[in-house]
Structure 1
Amino acid sequence: MPASNDSLNTRHVAETRAALVRVGREMFSTVGYHAASSDEIVTRARVSKGAMYHHFKSKRELFEAVVIEVLSEYGTRLSKPRIKGADDWVRLIKLALRYLKAASADDAFRQVVLIDGPVVLGWVRWRKIQWEVGPVGFEAALENCMARGLIEPAPSKALAHTIIAAVSESVMFVAYANDREVARKEMEGVVTTLMNGFRIRPPQN
């Protein structure tokens, strides 16, 4: 049975948006937000400028969609392969270190999320997106660690914000470092020490 006009239109709309996000992501990752022009984005995506503004009110709105996509994908990637450790708190520390590694090893993540993200979107919006997209289940994971007696009792939401803020700043330090690999190794030790400061008992190896 042939597809209806409505289903064809819906698919076309979805494909157009996907093409804009894909090309925008490629350009924002390689040349940065400010050097990526809307004209070149629509040309590479093979859509009209009117089509772009039908989906996104501005280049900034397209950029936000790209940031959300990159963060969502990276959140999934952070959990693979499965993190092994002596206990849940050790595994959370290793998860934080994986995120830290992205600042030195993943150029697209570094450019889009860490360098252009806070500048283009503004600090408040950038942090809100990180909280909504990135740390899925993090607060619950902290509550689990407290229930197991691994870390000191504390308001879980406040603790989650504190740890995420500290790790985010650590990641920014690495992202802007002249030698990112050296900075990452230094910060890995700092983050590990900081997070282990919340422990009730030392980790069992």
Structure 2
Amino acid sequence: MSDTRHAPAKKPSKNREKLLVAARRLFAERGYAGTGTEDIVREAGVTRGALYHQFADKQGLFRAMLEKMLPEIGERLFNETMARIKHDREDLKVGCRVLLGIYADPDVRRLFLIEGPAVLGLAGWKALQAPLSTLFLHHALQHLVDEGTLAAEEMEPVAELLAGALQQAGLGIANADDPQAARERYAAGLDLIVEGLMRRG
């Protein structure tokens, strides 16, 4: 598996967007291993040269596709959480449940949770999603710091532990025979952790 972390960024183009759209559809339908670059360029209506002008290889295209998905996940997480809460301190509990619901979405489950760790490796997959989970958890935990439930110096380790719990829940949902049932089990477990944290003070 090649390392594309240090490949220079290519100038955005219509071909790049076509390739990302095609890759997302085919990877979701057939999986990473079952999709060849020839399938992607044919679906996108571009040449192989256009693909390799934009991406170092298929793994680089896959990584870029996931990077493009992350803001979509973040926007959905924010909007659905804000629609469900009545008080800022509910951000954490509700947001965790919303995120697990997003993880159970078929495309997110297949691309982000099943193919992602397999293609990028567990460490690469965790690093890719770290900015999103950090933004969400720091925002939610800051409300608890502001109200005195959580000490400021406790926020970082608690955020790291919750990020790990959410990642593990995501992997559990991804590999479950019944993703929706698994989502409810993990949500109930996270509720216990979060409610215990919120009862402090």
Q: For structure 1, which segment, 133-142 or 60-69, has the greater mean C-alpha deviation from structure 2 after superposition?
A: 133-142
| Partner Cα separation in structure 2 for residue 26 and residue 41 of structure 1 | 9
> Structure 2 unaligned runs (5+)?
1-10
AA in 2 matched with 1:132: P
AA in 1 matched with 2:93: I
The 3-state SS of whatever aligns with 1:80 is helix
Aligned ranges for residues 54-93 of structure 1 at < 5 Å? 54-81=53-80, 82-85=82-85, 87-93=87-93
AA in 1 matched with 2:25: E
| Partner Cα separation in structure 1 for residue 153 and residue 194 of structure 2 | 14
- Give CA-to-partner distance per residue, 1:83-111, whole Å, 9 cap, x none: 4335333222111111111232x111001
| Distance verdict in 2 for CA 1:52–1:90, change over 3 Å | same
- TM-score under structure 1 length normalisation: 0.84
Aligned ranges for residues 9-20 of structure 1 at < 5 Å? 14-20=13-19
Which residue is 2:33 aligned to?
A: 34
Query: Would the aligned equivalents of 1:173 and 1:183 in 2 still touch at CA under 8 Å?
Result: yes
| Partner Cα separation in structure 1 for residue 121 and residue 189 of structure 2 | 27
For residue 139 of structure 1, report the CA deviation from its aligned partner. 1.7
The 3-state SS of whatever aligns with 1:39 is helix
Query: Would the aligned equivalents of 2:22 and 2:40 in 1 still touch at CA under 8 Å?
Result: yes
| Partner Cα separation in structure 2 for residue 98 and residue 69 of structure 1 | 20
The 3-state SS of whatever aligns with 1:155 is helix
- TM-score under structure 2 length normalisation: 0.86
Aligned ranges for residues 1-205 of structure 1 at < 5 Å? 14-81=13-80, 82-85=82-85, 87-104=87-104, 106-151=105-150, 154-201=153-200
After TM superposition, what 4+ stretches of structure 1 lie above 6 angstroms from structure 2?
none
Work out the number of aligned pairs and report it.
Answer: 190
- Give CA-to-partner distance per residue, 1:59-99, whole Å, 9 cap, x none: 00000011111121011011224243353332221111111
AA in 2 matched with 1:96: C
| Partner Cα separation in structure 2 for residue 192 and residue 47 of structure 1 | 48
- Give CA-to-partner distance per residue, 1:110-130, whole Å, 9 cap, x none: 011000101101111111110
Which residue is 2:5 aligned to?
A: none
Which has the larger helix fraction?
Answer: 2
Q: For structure 1, which segment, 146-155 or 189-198, has the greater mean C-alpha deviation from structure 2 after superposition?
A: 146-155
> Higher Cα Rg: structure 1 or 2?
1
| Partner Cα separation in structure 1 for residue 111 and residue 133 of structure 2 | 14
Query: Would the aligned equivalents of 1:174 and 1:184 in 2 still touch at CA under 8 Å?
Result: yes
AA in 1 matched with 2:107: A
Query: Would the aligned equivalents of 2:144 and 2:198 in 1 still touch at CA under 8 Å?
Result: no
- Give CA-to-partner distance per residue, 1:120-156, whole Å, 9 cap, x none: 0111111111012444253243233212123355432
Which residue is 1:4 aligned to?
A: none
AA in 1 matched with 2:66: V
Query: Would the aligned equivalents of 1:83 and 1:94 in 2 still touch at CA under 8 Å?
Result: no
